[in-house]
Amino acid sequence: MFQSLETCLEKYVPPEELGHVKRILYGKQLEELQLPELCTNNKENVEVKGYKFDSLVEELREKRIVRVGLIQNQIVLPTTAPLVEQRNAIYKKVGQIISLAAKANVNIICLQEAWSMPFAFCTREKFPWCQFAESVENGPSTTFLKEFCKQHNMVIISPILERDERDIIWNTAVVIDNLGNVIGKHRKNHIPRVGDFNESTYYMEGNTGHPVFETAFGRIAINICYGRHHPLNWLMFGLNGAEIVFNPSATIDGLSETLWGIESRTAAVANSYFSCAINRVGTEIFPAEFTSGDGKPAHKEFGHFYGSSYITAPDGSRTPGLSRTQSGLLISEMDLNLCRQIKDHWGFQMTQRLDLYAKSLDTIVNSTK
Check 6, 113, 162, 284 and give the catalytic one. 113
276 flagged as catalytic = no
Residue 8: pLDDT above 90?
A: yes
- Residue 206: strand, helix, or coil: coil
Helix (H) or strand (E) holding 91: helix 83-103
pLDDT band for position 1 (cuts 50, 70, 90): confident
Distance CA 247, CA 220 (A): 11
For the chain, helix (H) and strand (E) counts, in that order, are 10, 17
Write b or e for each residue in 225-254: b if 16 or more Cβ atoms lie within 10 A of its Cβ, otherwise e.
bbbbeeeebbbbbbeeebbbbbbbbbbbbe
The answer for 239, left when phi > 0, alpha when psi is -120 to 50, beta otherwise, is alpha
pLDDT of residue 265: 98
Q: How far is 299 from 214, CA to CA, in rounded Å?
A: 44
Which residues does 12 contact at the CB level (< 8 Å), separation at least 6? none
Q: Whole-angstrom Cα distance, residue 36 to residue 100?
A: 9
CA-to-CA separations, 72 to 79, 213, 291, in angstroms, rounded: 18, 23, 27
- Catalytic residue from among 122, 149, 225, 339: 225
How does pLDDT run across 197-256, given as a tens digit for each residue?
Answer: 989 999 999 999 999 999 999 999 999 999 999 999 999 999 999 999 999 999 999 899
The per-residue pLDDT of the chain, averaged, comes to 96
pLDDT of 62 > 90? The answer is: yes
- Residue 17 dihedral angles phi and psi, to the nearest 5°: -105, -15
CATH number, position 80: 3.60.110.10
Nearest to 136 by CA among 181, 87, 199: 181
> Among 134, 162, 188, 339, which one carries the catalytic annotation?
188
Residue 106 has pLDDT above 80, yes or no: yes
Query: Of 124, 227, 218, 220, which is closest to residue 171 (Cα–Cα)?
Result: 227
Q: Report the SS3 class of residue 42.
A: coil
The pTM of this model reads 0.97
Structural domain boundaries, residue 330: 5-367
Our count of domains for the chain comes to: 1
pLDDT given at position 183: 98
* Coil, helix or strand at residue 23: helix
Q: Are strands 108-110 and 65-72 parallel, antiparallel or unpaired?
A: parallel
Average of pLDDT values for 83-95?
A: 98
Residues paired with 101 in a beta bridge: none
User: Can you give the pLDDT at residue 176?
Assistant: 98
Q: What are phi and psi of 199, to 5 degrees?
A: -70, -25
Does the annotation count 113 as an active-site position?
yes
Please confirm, yes or no, whether 149 is among the known catalytic residues. no
pLDDT, average across residues 156-181: 98
* Dihedral pair phi/psi, residue 28, rounded to 5°: -65, 150
Q: How far apart are CA 19 and CA 16, in angstroms?
A: 7
Question: What tens digit of pLDDT does each residue of 243-296 get?
Answer: 999 999 999 998 999 999 999 999 999 999 999 999 999 999 999 999 887 888
**pLDDT tens string 13-60:** 999 999 999 999 999 999 999 999 999 999 999 999 999 999 999 999
